[in-house]
């Protein structure tokens, strides 16, 4: 109980309370003529001038109810608590019901200390009014129920807004992680290809100048593709242009990884099983995982002559296996900057699958991925 009270007392103010808007002025513009009309037209009022003046004098507190909630509550409930001591009764206008917005604003936007102080002031005002006979017992009980209802409603909306803000922050975090994976899986793929080609061009520049020129052409093409993808991502992030609506790569696109890029190893791709109707998220993930695995093998598999990519799908799962015949004498890096296998594992895990990578018993390195055909949140 002490921890609960301490947490309530230490509760900070709600962030970014809305500033005064046209709606606030409309609210004041509606309350003022209603109060005047009620004061003029109701014949049962004991002191119509007193009730109308009090109602009109306090209506301006609605304009600062979110930025200074405790001060506005203190003004309204102090005035309505002290004035009956001189007049003998509470303000009688029904229009005065607008004051219920103030305790709501206090619990919605104020800190824990402000809410506690304001609630104490409100309850004290109701209790004193009942003690001096300005409120009947039934009216006092109704007032308490209404105030607690306003407190509860404001608290519910406050924590609902907090949950929505946390959900938004989580969505932003997940989006940043997705962008990080995409940057690694796409741009880093092209940069790795350029590095490999540059090394090959340097190695053969003196003996075979034509091969060096071919390497430069490939580097130029890879650089153009990397630059285009980076610009597309920047445009989306800055919202300068709409996102590229081209479809994401899928499992059939893995065939583009096949071939031989001298002096690199031969890439052999085989697609097996029922590849129809695989969800786009799974298909894109399999492509990115295969692309990253091939890039790692080309870059780190020493003396490798062959990279085999196998994708097999059945009714329940999609499996990817990328293996090479490179030297396993030394531990390979986890990818560019050390985030390759980490990103692959995260991508597979987000779809409810697994990703394992490691050296084979004899020679080579294998990446094995298993994803459910219907993705599930892990």
In a domain? residue 273: yes
Q: Are strands 354-359 and 317-324 parallel, antiparallel or unpaired?
A: unpaired
In a domain? residue 246: no
Quick check: 343 and 296 in contact, CB under 8 A?
no
In a domain? residue 337: yes
In a domain? residue 83: yes
* pLDDT value at residue 243: 47
Between 336 and 261, where is the model more confident? 261
Please compute the mean of the pLDDT values over residues 330-355 and round it to a whole number: 69
Given a cut of 50, whether residue 367 has pLDDT beyond it is: yes
In a domain? residue 251: no
* pLDDT value at residue 275: 85
Please compute the mean of the pLDDT values over residues 322-351 and round it to a whole number: 70
* pLDDT value at residue 276: 82
Closest CA to 183 of 148, 233, 143: 233
Q: CA-CA distance, 35 to 28, in Å (whole number)?
A: 11
The set of long-range contacts for 295-299, using a CB threshold of 8 Å and a minimum separation of 24, is 295/188, 295/189, 295/192, 295/193, 295/335, 296/332, 296/335, 296/340, 296/367, 297/265, 297/322, 297/324, 297/326, 297/365, 298/192, 298/193, 298/196, 298/261, 298/264, 298/265, 299/192, 299/195, 299/196
3-state secondary structure of 267: strand
The CATH code of the domain that includes 359 is: 3.30.565.10
In a domain? residue 242: no
Please compute the mean of the pLDDT values over residues 33-54 and round it to a whole number: 92
* pLDDT value at residue 106: 94
Please compute the mean of the pLDDT values over residues 321-342 and round it to a whole number: 66
209-223, 239-253, 347-361: range with highest mean pLDDT: 347-361
Please compute the mean of the pLDDT values over residues 317-334 and round it to a whole number: 77
pLDDT band at 189; cut points 50, 70, 90: low
Please compute the mean of the pLDDT values over residues 212-225 and round it to a whole number: 79
Given a cut of 70, whether residue 242 has pLDDT beyond it is: no
Q: CA-CA distance, 304 to 296, in Å (whole number)?
A: 12
Domain end call among 96, 115, 135 = 135
For 84-166, strand residue ranges (E) read: none
51-60, 126-135, 157-166: range with highest mean pLDDT: 51-60
What is the number of domains present in the chain? 2
Please compute the mean of the pLDDT values over residues 338-351 and round it to a whole number: 75
Angle, helices 209-238 vs 188-204, to 10°: value is 160
Q: Distance between alpha carbon 125 and the CA centroid of its chain, in Å? A: 43
Domain end call among 78, 109, 135 = 135
62-76, 195-209, 281-295: range with highest mean pLDDT: 62-76
Given a cut of 50, whether residue 327 has pLDDT beyond it is: yes
In a domain? residue 249: no
Domain end call among 89, 119, 135 = 135
* pLDDT value at residue 348: 85
In a domain? residue 25: yes
Query: Cβ atoms within 10 A of the Cβ of 162, count?
Result: 12
Q: Which residues contact 175 (CB under 8 A, 6 or more apart)?
A: none
- 271-305 burial by CB neighbour count: b if 16+ within 10 A, else e? eeeebeebbeebbbbbbbbbbbbbbbbbbbbeebe
| Residue-range definition of the domain harbouring residue 337 | 264-378
* pLDDT value at residue 329: 57
* pLDDT value at residue 240: 47
Query: Cβ atoms within 10 A of the Cβ of 322, count?
Result: 27
Backbone angles phi, psi at 248, to 5 degrees: -70, 150
Q: Are strands 266-273 and 306-313 parallel, antiparallel or unpaired?
A: parallel
Please compute the mean of the pLDDT values over residues 35-48 and round it to a whole number: 91
pLDDT band at 378; cut points 50, 70, 90: very low
Given a cut of 80, whether residue 260 has pLDDT beyond it is: no
């Amino acid at each position: 109980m002490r921890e609960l009270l301490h947490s309530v007392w230490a509760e900070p103010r709600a962030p970014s309370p809305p500033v005064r808007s046209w709606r606030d002025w409309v609210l004041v513009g509606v309350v003022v003529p209603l109060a005047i009309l009620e004061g003029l037209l109701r014949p049962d009022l004991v002191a119509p001038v007193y009730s109308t003046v009090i109602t009109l004098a306090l209506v301006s507190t609605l304009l600062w109810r979110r930025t200074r909630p405790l001060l506005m509550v203190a003004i309204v409930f102090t005035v309505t608590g002290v004035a009956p001591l001189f007049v003998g009764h509470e303000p009688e206008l029904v229009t005065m019901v607008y004051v219920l917005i103030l305790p709501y604003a206090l619990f919605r936007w104020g800190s824990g200390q402000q809410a506690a102080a304001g609630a104490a002031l409100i309850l004290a005002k109701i209790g004193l009014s009942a003690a001096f006979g300005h409120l009947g017992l039934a009216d006092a009980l109704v007032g308490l129920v209404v105030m607690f209802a306003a407190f509860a409603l404001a608290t519910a909306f406050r924590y609902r807004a907090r949950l929505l803000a946390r959900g938004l922050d989580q969505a932003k975090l997940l989006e940043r992680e997705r962008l990080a994976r995409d940057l690694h899986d796409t741009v880093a793929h092209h940069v790795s290809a350029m590095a490999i080609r540059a090394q090959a061009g340097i190695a053969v520049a003196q003996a075979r100048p034509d091969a060096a020129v071919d390497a430069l052409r490939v580097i130029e093409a890879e650089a153009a593709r990397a630059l285009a993808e980076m610009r597309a991502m920047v445009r989306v992030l800055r919202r300068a242009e709409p996102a590229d609506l081209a479809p994401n790569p899928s499992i059939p696109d893995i065939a583009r990884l096949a071939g031989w890029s001298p002096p690199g190893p031969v890439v052999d791709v085989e697609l097996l099983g029922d590849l129809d109707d695989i969800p786009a998220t799974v298909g894109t993930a399999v492509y990115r995982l295969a692309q990253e695995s091939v890039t790692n093998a080309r870059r780190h598999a020493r003396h490798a002559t062959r990279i085999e990519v196998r994708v097999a799908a059945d009714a329940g799962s999609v499996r990817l296996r990328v293996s090479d015949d490179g030297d396993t004498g030394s531990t390979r890096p986890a990818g560019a900057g050390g985030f390759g296998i980490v990103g692959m594992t995260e991508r597979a895990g987000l779809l409810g699958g697994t990703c394992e990578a490691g050296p084979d018993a004899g020679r080579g390195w294998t990446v094995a991925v298993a994803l459910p055909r219907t993705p599930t949140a892990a």
